[in-house]
């Protein structure tokens, strides 16, 4: 659970504006499709997809510097499946 809280704290530092926040909430947390996220937020699908990809890169760059967190997240994702 601590790793998840650390991940969320890292993600918060990578969110630059309200669009990033909407992308994080709808695509990463709620796991909605681009179409549903577009309908919910009013942000075009192409913008959502582009911002999702950029946000993933920013988060990955930070997470990859913390090997323990990266290991914990990989183990947690494996256990969830």
CA dihedral of residues 6, 12, 13, 15 (deg, nearest 10): 150
Cβ of 23: how many Cβ atoms within 10 Å?
A: 26
Per-block mean pLDDT, blocks of 10 residues, the chain (81 long)? 82 95 96 98 98 95 85 68 49
What does the alpha-carbon distance between residue 32 and residue 34 come to, in Å, rounded to a whole number?
Answer: 7
pTM summary value: 0.82
Percentages of the chain per state (helix, strand, coil), in multiples of 5:
80, 0, 20
């Amino acid at each position: 659970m601590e790793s998840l809280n650390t991940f969320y704290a890292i993600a918060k530092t990578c969110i630059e504006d309200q669009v990033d926040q909407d992308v994080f909430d709808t695509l990463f947390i709620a796991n909605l499709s681009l179409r549903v996220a577009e309908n919910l937020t009013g942000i075009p699908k192409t913008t959502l997809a582009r911002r999702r990809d950029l946000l993933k890169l920013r988060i990955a760059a930070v997470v990859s510097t913390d090997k323990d967190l990266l290991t914990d997240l990989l183990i947690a994702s494996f256990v969830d499946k």
